Structure 1
Amino acid sequence: MTDANFPSDPLIGLLLRLLYQHYSQDIDTALRDAGFGDIRPAHANVFPFVPPEGITVSGLAELARMRKQSMAEAVEQLERMGYVERRPNPQDRRSRLVFLTERGEAVRPVTHTTAARVEKRWADLTSPDELEELRARLLRLLTELRTGS
C-alpha cells in the first residue's frame, strides 16, 4: 500500500475489517436510498440468515456468530420496525420462529444488487479470477473453522 500512515505489513483481520467497511457503506447508502434508512449495522446480522421456514433467535445467533442477547435485541428492533415477525414454533411450543415480513423481504434485492455491484467493482480493480480465488479461499477457511478440522 502506498499510504505512509498504513502499516507496511497489516494483519489480515485489519484488511478484512477495512474492506468490510467499504462494502457496508455502499450497502447502507443503497438501503437509505431505497427507503430503508432505519436499518442499522447490527440488523445486517439478521437478514441473510432467515430462511422461508423461519428460525429461532438462538439459531440466528449461532449462524451470525454473535451472542443470543444481542441477536434478540436486533430481532426485537426489527420486529418493531416491521421487518420481521415472530410466530409460534410448531415443533416446540416453548420457542418462537423469526420470519421476514414483506417489508423485510424487500430489503434482500437491494442488498444483493448492491453487493453484486461492489464485487464487480472489486473484480474490475483486481481481476475476476483474483476475486473468485479470494472468495474460494475465504470460504475454505471459514468452512474449516466451522467444522473444527
Structure 2
Amino acid sequence: MQNSEALALSAALLAAAGELTRRINDGVVARGFEGRPSYGFAFARLAPDGATVSEIGAHLGVTKQAASQLVDELVRKGYVERRPHPVDARARLIVLTEHGWECTRAAEEAAAEAVRAWADVLGEGEVRVLYDRLARIAPYGPIRPVW
C-alpha cells in the first residue's frame, strides 16, 4: 500500500469514527438526554460494575482531576452516583443511575440506527465483513476518545 493510500485509509477511518460519534450523540440528544460524547466514553467504562475516578481517568486518557470534574458533572445531571467502594474504604465507586442506564440504552439505539444507515449504503453483508475486519485490527478497545 502506498503512503498516499494509507493516509487516505487513515482519514476515512477517522472520519467514519467521528461521524459515528456525532450520530450517536445526536441520537442521544434527540431522545431527550443532555450530553456530550465524553459522557458516552465514560459510560462505556462504568457499565456494568462501576469504576473509580482514577479508573475513569485512565480509561479516558485524562488526569484524575479532569475525570473528577467529569464525574461531578455527571452526578449533577443525575447520570451517576458515588457509592462506597466494596473493597477500598478510601475510594468511591462511581456507578450509573437508572437515568444513566436509560441514556446508555438511548446510545445503543442511536448506534444501531447509524449502523443500519451504513447497511443501506454497503449492504448488510458488507457491514458484517467490515465488522469482522475491524475486530481483527482492534479486538478489545478500549472505547475512548483520542483527545
- Which category describes the TM-score, using the shorter chain as reference length? 0.7 to 0.9
Q: How far apart, CA to CA, are the structure 2 residues paired with 1:74 and 1:93?
A: 22
Shift of residue 145, structure 1, vs aligned partner: 8.5
Deviations 1:47-98 (A, max 9, x none): 122134322223334444x224333322221111111011110101111111
Matched, 1:34 2:31: yes
Q: Contact 1:31 / 1:110 at 8 angstroms: preserved in 2?
A: yes
Name the aligned partner's letter for residue 77 of structure 1. Answer: E
- Which structure has the higher relative contact order (CA within 8 Å, separation 6+)? 2
**Structure-1 residue corresponding to 2:98:** 102
Size of the alignment, in residue pairs?
137
Q: Return 5+ residue gaps in structure 1 as ranges.
A: 1-7
- The answer as to whether partners of 1:57 and 1:98 remain within 8 angstroms in 2 is yes
Residue in 2 aligned with 1:136?
Answer: 132
Distance 1:113 1:102, change over 3 A: same
**Structure 2: how far apart are the matches of 1:12 and 1:62?**
28
Q: Which residue of 2 aligns with 1:112?
A: 108
Structure 2 gap segments, 5+ residues each: 143-147
Q: Give the fraction of aligned pairs with identical amino acids, expressed as a percent.
A: 31
1:25 counterpart letter in structure 2: R
Counterpart in 1 of 2:119? Answer: 123
Normalization by structure 2: what TM-score? Answer: 0.78
The offset of 1:112, in angstroms, is 0.8
Contact 1:57 1:68 in 2 (8 A): no
Deviations 1:18-64 (A, max 9, x none): 1122222322222222221x311221211122134322223334444
The question of 1:16 aligning with 2:2 is answered no
Aligned residues of 1:30 and 1:110 also touching (Cα < 8 A): yes
> What root-mean-square deviation, in Å, do the aligned CA atoms of Structure 1 and Structure 2 show?
2.3
Q: Distance in 2 between matches of 1:80 and 1:27?
A: 22
Give yes or no for the alignment of 1:67 onto 2:62.
Answer: yes
Partner Cα distance (2:43, 2:140) in 1: 24
Secondary structure in structure 1 of the residue aligned to 2:89: strand
